[in-house]
Amino acid sequence: MTLRKIITNLLPVRSLLIFLIKLYQKAINPLTISGKCPFSPTCSNYSIESIQKYGSFKGVVLSIFRIVRCNPFNKGFYDPPENWATKLKFKKVKSNG
């Protein structure tokens, strides 16, 4: 199986992950009392962007790294997915449209 076919087969997983994050943004996040995410982009938007740019697996890895860094003691800052993707030598996934 070629890499392109593998990536194409993973697109439903990518779509499901993004759907679940958007569901969290609309249904669960407004109910939390923790306030707003100190980072820019927010952790959930960071996760969506990471999954779109780097695929399901690497996007989830980047998302986990971000969520671990997000805590009450961190003041937050501008932290796009490219910062960590570069450090981890992740390459962008070509999208099919």
Q: What is the chain's Cα-based Rg?
A: 14
Which pLDDT score is estimated for 11? 72
Low-confidence ranges of the chain (pLDDT < 70): 1, 4-10, 33-35, 93-97
Q: Which amino acid does the sequence have at 23?
A: L
**Which distant-in-sequence residues (6+ apart) come within 8 Å of 51 by Cβ?**
14, 17, 18, 21, 59, 60, 63
**28 with 61: CB under 8 angstroms?**
no
Which pLDDT score is estimated for 96? 52
Which pLDDT score is estimated for 97? 45
Which pLDDT score is estimated for 6? 67
